[in-house]
Each structure stands twice: as C-alpha cells, then as structure tokens.
Amino acid sequence: MVISLQGRILRIALAVVPALMLTAAIPWANRVEPRVLGLPFLLAWIVLWVLLCPVFLYAIYRIEGRRL
C-alpha cells in the first residue's frame, strides 16, 4: 500500500496532536475555571482529548486507505 508524502506527514501530525494536548498543553489547562458541564477545566480538557483521540485515529485509518 502506497501513501503519498503529504499523507504520511498528515498521518504523523494527526497522531501527535492529541498526545501533545494531553502532555505539553497541561500547564496551560491546569485550572478550575471555566467549568465545563460541571467538571473542573483540567478534567474537562483531558476528557475532551480522550474523546477526540478516536476521531484522529480514525482519520489516520482512512488516510491509509483502509475501511472499517
């Protein structure tokens, strides 16, 4: 299976985004306000990226030309 160079770069970029949001962005997200659905902001931030991760992985899966 051949993936174009752009496809390969995009694939890595998509994989790195949730990982960075859950590590490098933590100092920024480390706050209580604003509360999201009652959750303190830090917890809401982490939950958001946990939920978005499957979306990113699915996008990578499609770029690789695979079907579910």
Partner 1 sequence: MALGIIAVVILGTIGFALRSIRHIDVDPRQFMVGGRSFGALFLWILLAGEVYTSFTFQGAAGWAYGKGAPAFYILAYGTIGYTIGYFFLPSVWRIGKERGLLTAPDFFADRYDSRALGVGIGILQFFMIVPYVTLQLKGLQILLSIAGYGTLDSYFAVCVAFLLIAGFVLTAGLRGTAWASLVKDVLILCAVIFAGIAIPMKFFGSPAAMFDQLLRAHPHWATLAPGTAPNGIVWFISTVALTSIGFYMGPHAIAATYSARDENAIRRNAIFLPIYQLVLLLVMFAGFAALLIVPGLNDPDQSFLVVIQRYYPPWIMGFIGSAAALAALIPASALLLSAASVVSKNVLSDGFGLAKSDAGRMLATRVGVIVIAIFALVMWLEYKSTLVELLLLYYNGVTQFMPGFVFGLIWRRVSALAVTVGIAAGLILAIWFSVQNINPWGLNPGIPALLLNVALTVGITLIAPRRRALQP
CB 59 within 8 A of CB 68: no
- CB neighbours of 26 closer than 8 A, spacing ≥ 6? 42
Tell me which residues touch partner 1 (CB under 8 A). 15, 18-19, 22-24, 26-27, 30-32, 35, 37-40, 42-43, 46-47, 49-51, 53-54, 56-58, 60-61, 66, 68
Closest approach of partner 1 to the CB of residue 30, in Å? 5
Task: Please say which residue, 4 or 46, places its beta carbon nearer to partner 1.
Answer: 46
> What does each C-alpha distance from 48 to 5, 8, 31, 64 come to in angstroms?
30, 25, 15, 25
Nearer to partner 1, 4 or 23 (CB): 23
